[in-house]
Amino acid sequence: MSDAAAGVEQLDHASRRAPFGARLGAAMRERGPLCVGIDPHPSLLAAWGLADDADGLRRFSLAVVAAVADLAAALKPQVALYERHGSAGLAVLEEVLAASAEAGVLSIADAKRGDIGSTMAAYADAWLGEGSPLAADAVTLSPYLGFESLRPALETAAATGRGVFVLALTSNPEGASVQHVGGAQSVAKAICEAAAEENGRYAGEPLGSVGLVVGATVGDAVERLGLDLAAVRGPLLAPGLGAQGATGSALRAAFGDAYPQVLGTSSRDILAGGPHRAGLRERAERTLADLVDAG
């Protein structure tokens, strides 16, 4: 096949793929609102009896995919923990993304990329571009060079049927020094409003493909800052279940009317159930039940 023909085939494949928001919404309805984070921290590798090298990384990651792919709406590999192993680690990440697709579960690359101009376009090609070995179903993005700096990723995601999750209200203590600035007209509120505007292009879908990252342990910050998360009409990735202390009921209280959009994320608490498949599944099932019961 010529390069030109291959390019046409790739574009045609992308045109047939439903938007990410539609695919994620269907997965959440079918399986429930759980995202399992794949975070191969050195301490977890050691707890599983694995070496802190590319082979240990591969065995850990593919075991998680095999154990919980049918229980989760999405899997979220933490990119930094693959990057620390250099090219060998990124090769494992490519395997993880391919294995997730083969298992029929959506993937979210937790890369938190953000830059300007041609550099942002290159990141978009890497994580969202058709044919890229690193392309996931969605990627996390940082908007703190200005929301509009994300335009290349937003356009690439729309063109390829993929999605993005933009950092909006994170639970780390340092986040408030930027995200809460402005009070009633906070930076976090501006990001929410920009995401809502972007989701206008998905008006025919029940869930847009431009999501937000809102920490599961932000407490009353959503209400205090006046954020209308339901109006975003996109998925809300909420990390912090389990090890960080959040529960389904706490998420329900914090997100209010937007709770049906919440994709609750647990990493360390579920991963601590390994290396055995039964332990991973038991913890994933327990977390999923907690999220469903809270709804």
In angstroms, the CA 74 to CA 87 distance is: 25
The label of the residue with tokens 């291959």 reads 6
Q: Would you call 112 a catalytic residue per the annotation?
A: yes
Whole-number CA gyration radius for the chain:
18
∠ CA(200), CA(203), CA(208), 5° rounding? Answer: 75
Catalytic residue among 17, 31, 41, 112, which? 112
Contact at 8 Å (CB) between 293 and 66?
no
In angstroms, the CA 91 to CA 105 distance is: 20
CA distances from 286 to 71, 242, 259, 270, 281 (A): 11, 10, 19, 9, 8
CA-nearest of 273, 259, 277 to 33 is 259
In angstroms, the CA 77 to CA 56 distance is: 15
The label of the residue with tokens 């994933």 reads 284
In angstroms, the CA 74 to CA 11 distance is: 24
Cα dihedral 198, 258, 114, 126 sign: negative
Q: Where are the alpha helices (DSSP H) in 69-186?
A: 80-83, 86-103, 117-128, 151-160, 176-179
Give the distance from CA 269 to its chain's centroid: 17
Contact at 8 Å (CB) between 37 and 157?
no
Which sequence positions are flagged as catalytic? 112
